[in-house]
Amino acid sequence: RKEVEQDPGPFNVPEGATVAFNCTYSNSASQSFFWYRQDCRKEPKLLMSVYSSGNEDGRFTAQLNRASQYISLLIRDSKLSDSATYLCVVNVAGNQFYFGTGTSLTVIP
Amino acid sequence: DTAVSQTPKYLVTQMGNDKSIKCEQNLGHDTMYWYKQDSKKFLKIMFSYNNKELIINETVPNRFSPKSPDKAHLNLHINSLELGDSAVYFCASSPTRTARVNTEAFFGQGTRLTVV
């Protein structure tokens, strides 16, 4: 069983749309949670950390439900530049980062 | 200044050869990692080292041998390369989790290995 499960998509949305990504994790001892972004042929880069109370960074909102072991990312007012793969990441024991398979997003003009 | 740097960026080699990928981080992090990203884009952890000591070895064939001469370097040596080893290999580092819970991992640019 994979540590982190994500819907791979692809998600194709028009500019200005709102899109939501979800993931679930299997290890209840997971300690910290992130969304990373990976552009084609590039390395993954941190988009935002995910906190228990939920957190927002501009057009991006992340939520964590520890009871359901569920993490979400909401992107509002999608831009062309948001096209990328979004990776759900869970840190177990402080130094074990496990990645989901990623969700591909294409924002269409 | 590059925080996590790995070399080479591209590596094309024949089956059966032995090759190494080098990784260095100048962030002062205690933990370093190797990940493999296959053609399906899944990032799978291979190894994790903390202060030069192996923490994780995720059922990687023993043809893969990581070496950490110091906590700023984690190299990956691969013996007897096989076609299935073709992938992008990412090095990463992170600070040790202490007071800060959400310590992120920083990635190198990746090494695209093609075995022919």
CA distances (Å), B98 to each of A3, B30, B71, in order? Answer: 23, 12, 17
Phi, then psi, of B15 in degrees rounded to 5: -55, 140
Percent of chain B with pLDDT over 70: 93
Residue A95 in this model has a pLDDT that exceeds 80: no
Residue A29: which pLDDT band, with cuts at 50, 70 and 90?
confident
* Nearest residue, CB atoms, B108 vs list A43, A87, A97: A43
CB contact under 8 A, A43 and B110: yes
Residues 36-75 of chain A whose Cβ lies under 8 A from any Cβ of chain B: 38, 42-46, 49, 51
Residue B89 in this model has a pLDDT that exceeds 90: yes
Answer for the pair A71, A64: CB distance below 8 angstroms, yes or no.
yes
Residue B98: which pLDDT band, with cuts at 50, 70 and 90?
low
**Per-residue model confidence (pLDDT) at position B1:** 63
**Per-residue model confidence (pLDDT) at position B101:** 59
CA distances (Å), A108 to each of A11, A59, B62, B97, in order? Answer: 10, 17, 45, 40
Burial of A46 (0-12, 13-18, 19+ CB in 10 A): middle
Residue B100 in this model has a pLDDT that exceeds 90: no
Residue A108: which pLDDT band, with cuts at 50, 70 and 90?
very high
Q: Which of chain B's residues have a Cβ under 8 Å away from the Cβ of A96?
A: 45, 48, 55-56
Bridge partners (DSSP) of residue A81 are: none
- Any A CB within 8 A of B3 CB: no
Q: Which of chain B's residues have a Cβ under 8 Å away from the Cβ of A87?
A: 43
Residue A104 in this model has a pLDDT that exceeds 70: yes
* Nearest residue, CB atoms, A95 vs list B44, B48, B107: B48
Q: Which of chain A's residues have a Cβ under 8 Å away from the Cβ of B42?
A: 99, 101-102
Kindly report the average pLDDT of chain A as a whole number: 93
Separation between Cα atoms, residue A81 and residue A108, nearest integer Å: 10
Kindly report the average pLDDT of chain B as a whole number: 91
For residue range B37-47, what is the model confidence (pLDDT) as tens digits? 998 888 999 99
Residues 22-41 of chain B whose Cβ lies under 8 A from any Cβ of chain A: 31, 33, 35, 40-41
A3-18 average pLDDT score: 93
For residue range A35-85, what is the model confidence (pLDDT) as tens digits? 999 999 999 999 999 988 889 999 999 999 999 999 999 999 999 999 999
B49-75 average pLDDT score: 88
**Per-residue model confidence (pLDDT) at position B97:** 62
